[in-house]
DNA sequence: GTTACTGCAAAGGCTTTGCAGTCTG
DNA sequence: CAGACTGCAAAGCCTTTGCAGTAAC
């Protein structure tokens, strides 16, 4: 990511916070910068452990509360998960998920055709649609090689 | 549901258990029958509370363990969730979800066109696909009426 | 009779809440 | 300076684990 692009992203972030009445603190800047660089879908704990290397005094609670706040104002998202642990997604652009039933990994992928699938009119009538995504469940290559899940087809 | 149809469903269920080496117990029968009648996506606790009215002596642990076992052998599914509480889905046929960001409700809907969306070849090459579903995020009518979420577009 | 399941209890993990001190605007 | 944020600690849920007794096959 080029330096001016990074600056631009942070400017948008700051404007977004201000627009929602959130104060700009060093912790929030660090947390946002950290999660922006994540390609996976980290849990609050994963973000905490990563950020701790640069900001040893930050607390887990601040990280967790901040991530929830960010999700609330829409600068990040929470992703659907089967594991019982909440995970966050810094990518708010439309994209889709492959979800491994064995290891729980969630892998992003993009596809213009899937982006374009129409929302049925019946849904539009009874729901205020913000976003849509295709979620594919199955096994990642690694887990498939290791023998798959215990399941009858 | 007609009586013979109900019987048929239970027969399939029993055969499925036997094929996976699971014993048929009154608890398992009751739990399966209970969740079959659910149109929502109950948590283990919800199933427990519902089943308790008919089987006051059943324990929460049995319900929870049984639901996990059922999901393992594929007679039910777990659904992706944002809330941190695991939820189960008795409907193993392909269908899609509307997910309310405010109240967390997950509403099923069916759509032939969405069932038919093709999985990209790039995904097929790096993933063993079991199922796919379209997940629509937004607000249900009730929550939309109550003012929606705090979020900047 | 053997193997697996149930129910109870305890432990474990993640998330949420309350509060005093501190910092942003 | 006022209101909001941070960090610490404790409490709250939900889920998982171990074990003895019991039931299915």
Residue of B16, B120, B130 lying closest to A138 (CB–CB): B130
* Long-range CB contacts (within 8 A, 24+) of A57-65: A58/A27, A58/A30, A62/A27, A62/A31, A63/A27, A63/A31
Which nucleotide has its C1' atom closest to residue B85's CA?
Answer: D14
CB contact under 8 A, A128 and B113: no
- What does the alpha-carbon distance between residue A135 and residue B68 come to, in Å, rounded to a whole number? 21
Residue A143: per-residue pLDDT: 83
* B15 contact residues in A (CB cutoff 8 A): none
Question: Is A109 in Cβ contact with B123 (below 8 Å)?
Answer: yes
Whether the CB-CB separation of A44 and A88 falls below 8 Å is answered with yes
pTM of the model: 0.84
Residue A153 has pLDDT above 50, yes or no: no
- B-chain CB neighbours of A107 within 8 Å are 127
Length A125 CA → C6 C1' (Å): 47
CA atoms of A92 and B60, how far apart (whole Å): 38
Per-residue pLDDT tens digits of chain B, which is 153 residues long: 555 566 788 999 999 999 999 999 999 999 999 999 887 899 999 999 999 999 999 999 999 999 999 999 999 999 888 877 899 999 888 999 998 887 888 889 999 999 999 999 999 999 999 999 999 999 888 888 876 554 332
CB atoms within 10 A of CB A50: 16
Show the domains of chain A with their CATH numbers.
Answer: 3-79 (1.10.10.10), 93-145 (3.30.1490.190)
B50: closest CA of chain A, how far (Å): 22
Question: Which DSSP string do the residues of B30-95 spell out, in sequence order?
Answer: HHHHHHHT-SS--BHHHHHHHHHTT-TT--HHHHHHHHHHHHHHTSSEEE-BSSSS-EEES--S--
Contact list, B134 vs chain A (CB under 8 Å) = 117, 132-135
Most distant pair of Cα atoms in chain B: their distance: 53
What is the β-pairing status of strands B96-100 and B127-140?
Answer: parallel
Chain A 102-131, residues with CB within 8 Å of chain B CB atoms: 107, 109, 111, 113-114, 117-120, 122-123, 126-131
For A4, A34, A58, B49, B120, the CA distances from A31, given in Å and listed in that order, are 19, 5, 10, 40, 34
Residue A7 pLDDT > 90: no
Q: How confident is the model at residue A73 (pLDDT cuts 50, 70, 90)?
A: very high
Give the per-residue pLDDT at B84. 78
Query: Which of A119, A144, A150 has its CB closest to that of B128?
Result: A144
Nucleotide closest to B86 measured between CA and C1': D14
Name chain A contacts of B140, Cβ cutoff 8 Å: 126-128
pLDDT for res B151 = 39
Question: Which has the closest alpha carbon to B135: B112, B119, B114?
Answer: B114
Q: How does residue A37 score in pLDDT terms, banded at 50, 70 and 90?
A: confident
- Which residues, numbered 52 to 71 in chain A, qualify as contacts with chain B under a Cβ-Cβ cut-off of 8 Å? none
Distance in Å from C14's C1' to B8's CA comes to 41
Question: Would the CB atoms of A114 and B120 count as touching at under 8 Å?
Answer: yes
| Å between CA of B60 and C1' of D21 | 18
Task: Write down the pLDDT at residue A19.
Answer: 94
Q: Is the pLDDT of residue A47 over 50?
A: yes
């Amino acid at each position: 990511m080029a330096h001016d692009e990074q600056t631009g992203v942070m400017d948008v972030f700051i404007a977004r916070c201000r627009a929602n009445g959130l104060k700009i603190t060093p912790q929030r800047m660090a947390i946002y910068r950290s999660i922006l660089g994540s390609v996976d879908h980290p849990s609050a704990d994963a973000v905490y452990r990563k950020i701790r290397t640069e900001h040893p005094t930050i607390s887990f609670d601040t990280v967790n509360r901040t991530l929830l706040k960010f999700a609330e104002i829409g600068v990040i998202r929470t992703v659907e998960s089967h594991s019982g642990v909440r995970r966050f997604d810094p990518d708010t652009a439309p994209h889709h998920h492959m979800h491994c039933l064995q290891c729980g990994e969630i892998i992003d992928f993009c596809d213009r055709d899937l982006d374009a699938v129409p929302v049925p009119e019946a849904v539009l009538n009874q729901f205020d649609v913000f976003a849509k995504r295709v979620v594919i469940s199955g096994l990642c290559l690694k887990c498939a090689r290791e023998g798959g899940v215990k399941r009858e087809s």
